[in-house]
Amino acid sequence: MSQASTILIVDDNPMGREALEDLLYGQGYTLALAADGPEALIQAAALTPDIILLDVMMPGMDGFEVCQRLRADPHLAEVPVIMITALDDSTSRLRGLEVGADDFITKPFNRAELRARVRTITRLNRYHSLLDERAALQQAHTDLLLSYDATIEGWVYALDLRDKETEGHSQRVTEMTARLAQAAGIVDPELTHVRRGALLHDVGKLGIPDAILLKPGKLTDEEWVIMRRHPQYAYDMLAPIPFLRPALDIPFCHHEKWDGSGYPRGLAGEAIPLAARLFAAVDVWDALRSDRPYRAGWPKEKVLDYICTQAGTHFDPKAVDLFLQMIAVLP
C-alpha cells in the first residue's frame, strides 16, 4: 500500500486553513497546518510535503517570499506549490511564477477544481517518484554488474600473476571470441555471458598445483590427468554463483572436441555449446601464435593451416569458417 501524500496548508486566517482542511479531509491525504511564513518553512523542512497550498496575502512574510525561500532550499526546491490568492491579476500571477509557484487558485475557489488539481499533482508526484526509484534501481544494478566484472578481472589478473607464460592471453582471446560470437549471430545478453566465460576460461587452473602448472617441460601422463581437471574445477568454482552460471559454457567445455575426443565429458558435435566451439579455435590460435619457453610462436599462415586441418576433428567446421573470415579482415 502506497504512503499517503502529505499536504501542507499555509494560511494566516484560521477560517482559511479550516476551509482547506475540511475540503481535503477524507481524501486520503495527510494534512499539516502552518499559520504564517516562518512556520511554513519549519514545517516544510520537517515534513518535505508532497504539495504546499500557500496563501499569498500573509503579514510579515508573504506567500511570494515563502515560495522564493522554498525554491532556494535544495531539499524543497522540487515540492509543488499551489498559491491561493484573492489577487486575480496578471502582475501577481507573473510574480508568483517568477518565485517558483506551480499553480494558482483564486479565492473564492471552486471546491471540485481544487480537489482535482491537488489530485493531479499527487498523481504526477507518484509517477515521478516511481521513475526516480526505477532509475536508482537501474543504477544500483549497473554498479553491481560493474563490481562483479571487476571481481572477474581480478581473478584473471591473479591467474596472470601466477602464470607469466600466458600473461595477457585471457584478455586477447576474450576480445576475439566476442567478435567471433557476434559474427555467429550471438547478441546481448548472451554475448555478455560469452565475454565473461572467455575471460574466465582458465580460472580452474587456480586449482592446479604450481609444480604442474608452471612446469617448464612436458607433463607426464599422471600430471596431465591432474591438468585436465581444470575445467571441472572451473565448474565447481562458478556454478554456485548465479550471476556467472550462464557464462559456464566456455570454462567448462572449451577443451571438448568436435569428434568427441576432448575432455572433461567427451562431448561431440553440437552437443558442445556453441560458445565453447567458437572459443576453441580462438584459444588455439592465440596459444600457437604466442612464444613459450619451449618453443617460439608460430607464423600466422602455419597456425591457420593447422586450424584448417583440425576442422571436423578438433574444431566445428562452421566455427573454423567463421574464424577464417574474421582473421581475413583483421589488421
pLDDT digits (tens, 9 = 90+) for 179-196: 999 999 999 999 999 999
Neighbours of 184 (CB within 10 A): 18
pLDDT at 149: 81
Q: In the numeric block, which cell numbers belong to residue 184?
A: 555467429
SS (H, E, C) 33-100: EECCHHHHHHHHHHHCCCEEEEECCCCCCCHHHHHHHHHHCCCCCCCCEEEEECCCCHHHHHHHHHHC
The pLDDT tens digits for 69-93 are 999 999 999 899 999 887 767 788 8
> Which pLDDT score is estimated for 166?
60
The predicted model scores a pTM of 0.61
User: CA 185 from chain center: how many Å?
Assistant: 23
What is the Cα–Cα distance from 330 to 285, expressed in whole angstroms?
Answer: 14
Residues 28 and 87 in one domain: yes
8 A C-beta contact, residue 99 and residue 64:
yes
Predicted pLDDT at 167: 65
Instruction: Identify the CATH number of the domain in which residue 70 sits.
Output: 3.40.50.2300
Q: Are residues 195 and 129 in the same domain?
A: no
Q: Is residue 118 part of a domain?
A: yes
Give the total number of structural domains in the chain: 2
pLDDT at 293: 67
Helix (H, G, I), strand (E, B) or coil at 30: strand
For the ranges 134-148, 159-173, 217-231, the one whose mean pLDDT is highest: 217-231
Looking at the domain assignment, is residue 155 inside a domain?
Answer: no
Examine the domain organization and report whether 91 and 15 are in the same domain.
yes
- What pLDDT digit, counting tens, does each position of 98-110 carry? 999 988 888 887 8
pLDDT at 94: 85
**Following DSSP, what letter does each residue of 243-254 receive, concatenated?**
TTGGG-HHHHHT
Does any domain span residue 37?
A: yes
Highest mean pLDDT among 4-18, 146-160, 261-275: 261-275
User: Within this chain, do residues 130 and 172 fall inside the same structural domain, yes or no?
Assistant: no
pLDDT of residue 278: 98
Q: Domain check: are 250 and 314 in the same one?
A: yes
Report yes or no: 253 and 272 within 8 Å, Cβ to Cβ. Answer: yes
Extract long-range pairs of 86-94: CB within 8 Å, 24+ residues apart. Answer: 86/56, 86/57, 87/56, 87/57, 92/56
* Structural domain span for residue 289: 163-329
Q: Judge if 30 and 116 occupy the same domain.
A: yes
Residues 112-121: tens digit of each pLDDT = 888 888 888 8
Residue 231 belongs to a domain with what CATH number? 1.10.3210.10
Residues 124 and 213 in one domain: no
Over 80: is that where the pLDDT of 177 sits?
Answer: yes
Q: Check whether residue 62 and residue 167 sit in a common domain.
A: no
Q: Kindly state whether residue 206 falls inside one of the protein's structural domains.
A: yes
pLDDT tens digits for 304-322?
999 999 999 999 999 999 9
3-state secondary structure of 168: coil
Is residue 127's pLDDT more than 70?
Answer: no
Asked whether residue 234 is assigned to any structural domain, the reply reads: yes
Same domain, 182 and 297: yes
